A and B are shown apart, each in its own frame.
Chain A
Amino acid sequence: MKRLLTRLAFYLFTAWAAITINFFIARTLPGNPVSALLTKFQGQIDSSAIASLTALFGLDKHQSLWDQYVAYWGQLAHGDLGISFSQFPVPVSTLIGSYLPWTLFLVGTATVLSFLIGTALGVLSGWRRGSWTDALLPATAFLSSIPYFWLGLIAISVLAGPASFFPGSFSYDQGLTPVWTPSFVANAVQHAILPAATIVISSMSGWLLGMRNMMVTVSSEDYITVAHAKGLSDRRVMFSYAARNAMLPSVSGFALSLGFIVSGTFLVEIVFSYQGVGTLLLQAIGADDYPLMEGIFLVITLAVLAANFLADLAYLLLDPRTRKEG
């Protein structure tokens, strides 16, 4: 219990750090977004609107830094992330809200799959060292050094196309409306297969390598020899004795690699024009839409923190030692 509280405190601290970083970056932005908006909508914005726009974007320089900081927290508490420059005047939170579910769907599925497949292969290759599984190492080293987005480009050019089963872009057919009907879900899944497979293939090798190294280390422990000596089946020793212990670092590493996978997913989304947060981020970069960029950073960071907390809970279930203390 004590451990859980410590972790919770740590995540709260990290969230505070992310929000504060975000606040200070917003204050050091180059140029004045209001004047940028004015030039963009030449003549359409009344000059009297400048003052209200300045207040809206939180650019009021007369306030002290501390007051701005407090006001920023107040805005966040109401879920107000500011207003998008590029899609003026849509609030950032509305934009992110409509794109985020697709990213969560893609990242969630791909991460779980890659963790399961990578760990299983790692168990095998660590246990059967010296067999064909040794060839997995250089192969996965190659796959993991390919950037996600490039693998996506190749996947599209080889597998997708007008006549192919795999659609090359978007998260569902543009003629459909997103509702929970079987045909729509099937369509969305069909669109997700290629992007998800890309992420799984490039992120799998980390799990595989870590698991293999831990399996090799664990296999020479005494309790494995004892388990063998008791006459337990090879399979039982492999899964219940070696793999269960070798998996602990992987689970605690799960949390840490999540941020990495999220970054990769963004790029895959860009390549596949998938309607997720990554694509939104690309649009934001192209249009110098700072509020949108920062909103995305904040929301993604909070999501990653929440997922990390879940991984901590899983670790607590797997490792009885962590439950005993405290």
Chain B
Amino acid sequence: MARLRRPKFLRNGKATAGALILLFFFILAVIGSWIAPYSPDATGPDAVVGPSGAHWFGTDQLGRDIYSQLLVGTRGVIVVGFAAGVIATVLSLVIGIASGYLPGRGGEALSVISNVFLVLPALPLLIIITSATPKDGGWIVILTIGLTSWAWNARLLRAQTLSLRRRDYVEAARATGESTWRIIAFEILPNLTAIIASGFVGTVVFTILSEITLAFVGINVSEWNWGTVLYWAQSQDALAQNAWWWFVPAGMAIALLGTGLALLNFGIDEFVNPRLRSGGRARVRTRAGRRLRMRVGFTPVLATVEEGEAR
């Protein structure tokens, strides 16, 4: 039986680690509410007690099980993060490519719009929009986050499209009479894949952090996610009560998920740009026994290095 070969992309250690972490949280998002030992809203007699056999991560001020809150909350984090990430990525694709490919004023105008969204501070904008809309439903939050976090990506895509549109192969396609849509879909889009992928991962990190932040400041706390847990910890003075179990696991979960996504992004970056790979050891021993530091841009000839010439 032939051994299953890993896809080329996943042979990078960082990318594999990132993908595994992401897979772990996906599974939790699906089964979280089934394997949670309690309902996240079920109150109990033990208020603010530390981790024990009955409550792995302790309880909050109403005796609710924090472990269950985190498990159930995983779904909210993943769904909102990825849904908003998809919305933002699609928007950035449309606006980025259009502003890079369209000649003249139209492209410039789109570019100005994305710059405006880049410069506006995101958190206060998110807060005034979400607080002005009805409180029920995560959809408002998803839409608002999605509609406000596309600009960075659109800028990158625009820059790349601008450099692609004058390449010879695109000119050739235009000369043979291919339609604009065909050129964009079959000539330009495939060459943007890497930027789109890493942009999507970066956007998801951003949307997840935004979502958790919104919950942390007290917007849309009726649905459980990790930010909601932190919101209650902050508003009930978990710090003053020394209730570390209340906020440490939630933060670790965020950090782990974020690290997974960041590692995945390093993997994509290094897959696309081999220069960024860390490569082997920088110090090598020459035949003469000297230790030599490999410098970027240099290829030392190890065999003929003499004393004094190494520098």
Contacts and interface: CB of A to CB of B under 8 A. Distances in A.
Interface of A: 10-11, 13-14, 17-18, 21-22, 25, 28-30, 126-131, 134, 137-138, 141-142, 144-147, 149-150, 153-154, 156-157, 168, 213, 216-217, 219-221, 224-225, 228, 255-256, 259-260, 262-263, 266-267, 270-271, 281-282, 285-286, 288, 290, 293-294, 296-297, 300-301, 304-305, 308
B50 interface: no
A145 B261 contact: yes
Contacts of B12: none
B286 interface: no
Contacts of B248: 154
Contacts of B35: none
Nearest to A140: B262
A74 B293 CA distance: 66
Contact of A145 (B242, B244, B259, B279): B259
B217 interface: yes
Interface in B241-268: 242, 244, 247-248, 250-251, 254-255, 257-259, 261-263, 266
Contact of A304 (B119, B275, B278, B279): B119
Nearest to B265: A141
14 contacts: A22-B128, A29-B132, A30-B133, A126-B296, A129-B296, A130-B283, A137-B278, A138-B14, A157-B239, A220-B275, A228-B295, A290-B128, A297-B127, A308-B119
B124 A300 contact: yes
A141 B266 contact: yes
B79 interface: no
Contacts of B132: 25, 28-30, 290
A225 B298 CA distance: 8
Contacts of B293: 128, 131
Interface string B215-250: 011110000000000100110000100101001101
Say whether chain A's binding surface is mostly helix, strand, loop, or mixed: helix
Interface size class of B (residues with CB under 8 A): 35 or more
A285 B294 contact: no
Say whether chain B's binding surface is mostly helix, strand, loop, or mixed: helix
Interface string B121-134: 11111011101111
A145 B276 contact: no
A18 B201 CA distance: 28
Contacts of B205: 145
B152 interface: yes
Contacts of B27: none
A266 B266 CA distance: 29
B228 to A, nearest CB: 13
A186 B120 CA distance: 34
Interface of B: 14, 112, 115-116, 118-125, 127-129, 131-134, 152, 205, 209, 212-213, 216-219, 230, 233-234, 239, 242, 244, 247-248, 250-251, 254-255, 257-259, 261-263, 266, 269, 275-276, 278-283, 293-298
Ranked nearest first, the 9 interchain pairs of A and B with the lowest CB-CB distance are: A145-B258, A130-B282, A263-B123, A150-B251, A219-B296, A259-B121, A141-B262, A297-B124, A146-B255
Given A260-B122, A281-B127, A142 B275 contact: no
A301 B230 CA distance: 27
A192 to B, nearest CB: 19
A28 B118 CA distance: 24
Given A219-B296, A220-B275, A255-B119, 9 more contacts: A11-B119, A14-B115, A14-B120, A25-B132, A145-B257, A156-B239, A216-B276, A267-B123, A308-B119
Contacts of A14: 115-116, 119-120
B123 A266 contact: yes
Given A25-B128, A145-B254, A150-B251, A256 B119 contact: yes
Contacts of B258: 141-142, 144-146
B296 A220 contact: yes
Contact of A225 (B233, B280, B297): B297
B216 A267 contact: yes
Contact of A259 (B119, B131, B250, B296): B119
A285 B239 contact: no
A123 to B, nearest CB: 12
B125 A297 contact: yes
